[in-house]
Amino acid sequence: MSEHIQVRDAGGVREITFARPEKKNALSTAMYRSAREALEDAQVSPDVRVVLFAGEGEAFTAGNDLADFAKAAAGEASEPEAHRFIEALAVAQKPIIAAVPGLAVGVGMTMLLHCDLVYVADTAKLSAPFINLGLSPEAASSLLLPARIGHVRAFAAFALGEAISGVEAVSLGLANRMTSRDDVLETARAAARTLAGKPLGSVIATKRLMRDAAALARQIEAESHVFAERLTSEEAREAFRAFAERRPPNFVHLKP
C-alpha cells in the first residue's frame, strides 16, 4: 500500500483518499496500484457497499505524476498501473462517489465520468489538457465527455485545455452539487451513508443498466493504443522537455 493512499472503512463506506498534498495529489505508479487494489477489494468485500474518492488538502488530484510520464515518453517505463486503475473504475459494480475540493486534472477529471455521484467545491477546477502534453484522452473520456456535455464543449476541454469551474461542472451535468471547500467532503460522506443504506442489489442492477460496460471497455482499449503511441511521439517528448526546462513548448516544427 502506498503511503500516499489512505483507506478508511466506516458504515459500509470505503474512503480512498489521495494523500500527497505537497504534490497536489499527483498520482505515482505506486498510488495508482494502491488505489486500484483498494477499489477492487471493495467490490468483493461484504462490508463495503459504497466507495468514496477524496483528496487531501486543496486538490483532488493533479493527475498523473509528470515525472512518470516523462520516463515513459523517453522509453524508460510504461504506465500499466494507470491503465489498470482506469479499467477497475470502468468495471466497478458498487457505486462510486467523488468529493472534489479543488484541482482535478487529467485522470482527476476523467475518472469523475465513472463516478455515480460527484460533489465539487466552489474552488474546484476540472481540466483534461491531454493535447497540451502531446497526448490523447483516456478513461473512455473521448466517448463519455462528449455524451455528457456535447462535442464542442468537450473538444474545447481536450484541445484548448479549457478548465471547468465548480459552477460549470454542476450546470453541465458533471457534478451533482457544489458546496464550499470545507463542506464538500462531509456532503459526499452524507450521500455515501445514505446510499449505503439502500438495497445494494438494486443499486448495482441500476448502475449496470445505466452503463454500457462493453462499449466502455472497447473505448478504453482503443484509447490506450493511441495514448501509448502518443506518449512516445516527438510532440510528447517536446512537451515534457519544455516542462523540465520551464519554457513554452514549440510544436510547430514537429511532424504530427
pLDDT band at residue 29 using 50, 70 and 90 as cut-offs: very high
Query: What pLDDT is attached to residue 69?
Result: 67
Domains, the chain, ordered by start: 5-182 (3.90.226.10)
pLDDT band at residue 61 using 50, 70 and 90 as cut-offs: very high
Q: Is the pTM of this model over 0.85?
A: yes
Tallying the residues shown for the chain, one arrives at: 256
Name the pairing type of β-strands 50-55 and 13-18. Answer: parallel
Q: Kindly tell me if the per-residue pLDDT of 96 is higher than 70.
A: yes
pLDDT band at residue 74 using 50, 70 and 90 as cut-offs: low
128-179 pLDDT per residue, tens: 999 999 999 999 999 999 999 999 999 999 999 999 999 999 999 999 999 9
